[in-house]
């Protein structure tokens, strides 16, 4: 009876996740253009993924985005959640949570296009810099070889910050208020409360936030596609965009599949490591 209830969802999962994944693994061992019969090349595609500078650079760019998609949102989310929980309760707290969470309900492509306009030479970002006397910093951010990747990363920070903040706020609700009261009676300040009570009490929520945001960084596609499409040059090329280009523009399905499999394995390894790390500290 239990399998009968599970069967519909299981069939969908197998048909749309497991089966395509298995076929992708199979394609990764062939030199195939997606039309004619492929040629067996064994591990050659994987060797190229790990040695070709262009493919390795795409993986390194994804790891750099972890700083913007994971470190900054979790850090700022902790600060925002602690601040809202401490001083911004009631209607103001609701408005703050809604404002921070709003980017989560906006389609990422729409968010990318909006930020692309803001980053333009005459966009809101440069006009703001000129307005405060920092016109020397103004530039076409997404076309600048040095600033393009951080500019894309900031979009990711903006999108994920609300998720991290709301998640951490929900975790703050389970921390016993008597701990904060006892700390205040002992003369502890806000920083000590944050370090000794808030952060240890949110280990599980921090672990979830890090896991989700790290996956978003390594598998990023929408934001990069709608802003730079990997440019200028290859400065913002990430595995998701490169897989798309290899499979549909260059018709190299085998290499694209190998890169996708490597990316999947990296995500699994990192997620398992993160979960083990936070599980140890949660114990």
Residue 180: predicted pLDDT: 84
Residue 85: predicted pLDDT: 81
Residue pLDDT, tens place only, 228-276:
999 898 999 999 999 999 999 999 999 999 999 999 999 999 999 999 9
Residue 94: predicted pLDDT: 78
Q: For the chain, which residues score pLDDT lower than 70? A: 88-90, 282-283
**Would you call 173 exposed, middle or buried from its count of C-beta atoms within 10 A (0-12, 13-18, 19+)?**
exposed
Residue 282: predicted pLDDT: 64
From residue 209, alpha-carbon distances to 21, 191, 203 in Å are 26, 22, 10
Residue 188: predicted pLDDT: 80
Torsion of CA 112, 115, 119, 120, to 10 degrees: 80
Q: Where are the domains of the chain?
A: 39-282
Q: Which CATH superfamily is domain 39-282 in?
A: MetI-like (1.10.3720.10)
Question: CA 30 to CA 164: how far, in whole Å?
Answer: 41
Residue 90: predicted pLDDT: 65
Residue 266: predicted pLDDT: 94
Residue 97: predicted pLDDT: 80
Question: CA 20 to CA 40: how far, in whole Å?
Answer: 19
**Would you call 78 exposed, middle or buried from its count of C-beta atoms within 10 A (0-12, 13-18, 19+)?**
buried
Residue 263: predicted pLDDT: 95
Neighbours of 109 (CB within 10 A): 14
Helix (H/G/I), strand (E/B), else coil: 36? coil
């Amino acid at each position: 009876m239990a399998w009968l209830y599970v069967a519909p969802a299981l069939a969908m999962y197998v048909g749309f996740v497991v089966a395509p994944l298995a076929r992708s693994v199979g394609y990764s061992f062939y030199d195939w253009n997606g039309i004619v019969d492929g040629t067996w090349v064994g591990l050659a595609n994987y060797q190229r993924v790990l040695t070709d500078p262009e493919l390795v650079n795409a993986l390194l760019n994804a790891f750099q985005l972890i700083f913007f998609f994971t470190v900054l949102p979790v850090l700022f989310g902790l600060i925002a959640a602690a601040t809202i929980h401490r001083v911004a309760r009631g209607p103001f707290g609701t408005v703050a949570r809604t404002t921070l969470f709003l980017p989560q309900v906006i389609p990422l492509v729409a968010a990318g296009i909006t930020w692309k306009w803001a980053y333009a030479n005459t966009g809101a970002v440069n006009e703001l810099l000129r307005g405060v006397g920092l016109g020397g910093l103004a530039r076409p951010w997404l076309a600048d070889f040095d600033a393009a990747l951080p500019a894309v990363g900031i979009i990711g920070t903006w999108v994920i910050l609300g998720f991290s903040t709301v998640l951490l706020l929900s975790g703050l609700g389970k921390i016993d208020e008597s701990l904060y009261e006892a700390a205040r009676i002992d003369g502890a300040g806000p920083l000590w409360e944050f370090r000794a009570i808030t952060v240890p009490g949110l280990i599980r929520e921090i672990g979830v936030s890090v896991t989700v945001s790290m996956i978003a960084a390594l598998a990023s596609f929408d934001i990069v596609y709608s802003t730079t499409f990997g440019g200028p040059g290859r400065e913002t090329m990430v595995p998701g965009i490169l897989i798309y280009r290899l499979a549909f523009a260059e018709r190299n399905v085998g290499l694209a599949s190998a890169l996708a499999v490597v990316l999947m394995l990296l995500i699994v390894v990192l997620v398992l490591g993160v979960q083990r790390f936070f599980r140890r500290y949660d114990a």
